Structure 1
Amino acid sequence: MADAAFWDRIARKYAARPISNMDAYEYTLGRTKSYLRETDRVLELGCGSASTALLLAPGVGHITATDISPEMVQIGREKAQAEGVENIDNIVAGVGDPALGDNYDAVLALNLLHLTDNPKQAIDECYRMVAPGGLFISKTPCLEGLFGLLRLPGAVMHALGKWPKVQFISQRRLDEMMTAAGFEIIESGNDAGKSPPSRYIVARKPIH
């Protein structure tokens, strides 16, 4: 929750900013929708201003959209009210918050894991929150290779309050953390031609 103040400060500007790669966003949105059912109970972690959650809401039973930033959550509430979307709750919470409960049909973490303090622990928490047979759907920028040169300046910018904390995760390590948590990866892929690669993973929690 340490970066909440950073996201609060930029929330209104962030919410007004157009999506940089609409084709990639719509493709990810379409793939995600294809896995969700109209009866599903869904949790989105790190929802920002809830733009994606609001687009998914008509196709699911209920969606809980969470973010560590109270200002982002407030924007999401305003948008839900303006659009008349009633099957969504926008709440302030981070990954692993006990108030979120568990047994969700699907947990989403879209562009979030690289912003958590401990991605492995976050994935383990998501495994706990997913119902047996349920899905964990994530998309994560994998800042590897030359992007590793940003570690030091990124740390300095974070210390100055200009950047959120960023984790540098390789695609291979991300897949390993998913399987180590107990998930079975059923779909994975990267945005075509995007640098750094942004890895989309759909993983299922086995029914034991």
Structure 2
Amino acid sequence: MAITWTNDMTPSTRFWDKAARKYAASKIKDQAAYEKTLERTTEHLGPEDHVLELGAGTGSTALLLAKNVKSFLSTDFAPGMIEIANEKLAADRNSGVAHEGLSFLTADAFDERVQLSDEQGAGYDAILAFNFFHLVENPDDLLARVRDLLKPGGLYISKTVCLKDRAWLFGPMIKVMQLFGKAPYVSMFSFEDVEDKIRSAGFEIIETGTYPEPRSRFVVARKV
């Protein structure tokens, strides 16, 4: 199915939509760090949990994690990414892998469709955002929304690329690329910036890690 760009797409949405097929074909740069992220995330999930993923990309992580929980809604704001995620899901189901409880949706965190129904409970048990927070133009608003969507004591589990110490190099380069539609919006965070924003949004950080070194900060935070 072809994706039609609409006028309400932001430059970042258009970038990721156009890049979806190339992104899907790319290999994970650090497999060990990826597996460590999955391992630590899984430790915090339970079989009765309702989970929301933001910035799902083409769905590979959701396909691996969804088997550990009751329901898993995996979202991305780029239609092309979700198109590929649904192709992967259909292929797995055709081969006999059910993926019960897993669904993909083109949406962002502010879309009303991501909210749980009254029958499902007071909020998500966990919200995941891997390699996503630095790509968001309104990070404080996003964290406030994440907190609203979580049940009391729910977890926000994220991994964020932090480029602040190399902003002198990456900042100008990214700005030039953005002029030609070759780069999305990117925030230059440090580890401290990410953790301070999460705490300020009403979370208690209960675990951190760096997978991979030296620039991707993994954080598990509990809603307080």
Q: TM-score, normalised by structure 2?
A: 0.87
Q: Is the 8 A contact 1:38 1:59 kept in 2?
A: yes
1:91 equivalenced with 2:105 (yes/no): yes
Greater mean deviation of Cα atoms: 53-62 or 85-94: 85-94
Q: How many residues are treated as equivalent by the alignment?
A: 204
Shift of 1:159: 2.2
SS of 2:27 mapped into structure 1: coil
User: 2:63 maps to which residue?
Assistant: 54
Aligned position for 1:5: 14
Report deviation, 1:88.
Answer: 1.0
Deviation of 1:5 after TM superposition, in Å, equals 1.4
Matched residue SS, 2:108: coil
Which whole-Å CA distance do the structure 2 matches of 1:43 and 1:132 have between them? Answer: 15
The 2-side partners of 1:148 and 1:46 are apart by 26
Moved more, 5-14 or 49-58: 5-14
The answer to whether the 8 Å contact 1:148/1:168 transfers is no
- Counterpart of 2:157 in structure 1 is 137
CA distance, structure 1, for counterparts of residue 16 and residue 157 of structure 2: 23
Q: Which amino acid aligns with 1:43?
A: L
Q: Which residue of 2 aligns with 1:199?
A: 217
SS at match of 1:175: helix
RMSD of the alignment, in Å? 1.3
Aligned 8 A contact 2:34 2:211 in 1: no
| Amino acid corresponding to residue 135 of structure 1 in structure 2 | L
2:169 counterpart SS class = helix
SS in 2 for 1:10: helix
Which runs of 5 or more residues in structure 2 are unaligned?
Answer: 1-8, 94-98, 117-122
AA partner of residue 27 (structure 2): P
- Residues 1-208 of structure 1: pairs in structure 2 closer than 5 A: 2=10, 3-84=12-93, 85-101=99-115, 103-191=123-211, 194-195=213-214, 197-206=215-224
Distance 1:69 1:146 in 2: 27
> Per the alignment, in what secondary structure is the counterpart of residue 20 of structure 1?
coil
Which whole-Å CA distance do the structure 1 matches of 2:166 and 2:65 have between them? 35
% identical equivalent positions: 43
Give the letter for the 1:166 counterpart: V
1:148, distance to aligned residue in structure 2 (A)? 3.7
2:192 partner amino acid: R
**CA–CA distance in 2 between the matches of 1:30 and 1:147?**
30
Q: Secondary structure at the match of 1:47?
A: coil
Alpha-carbon offset, residue 152 of structure 1: 2.0
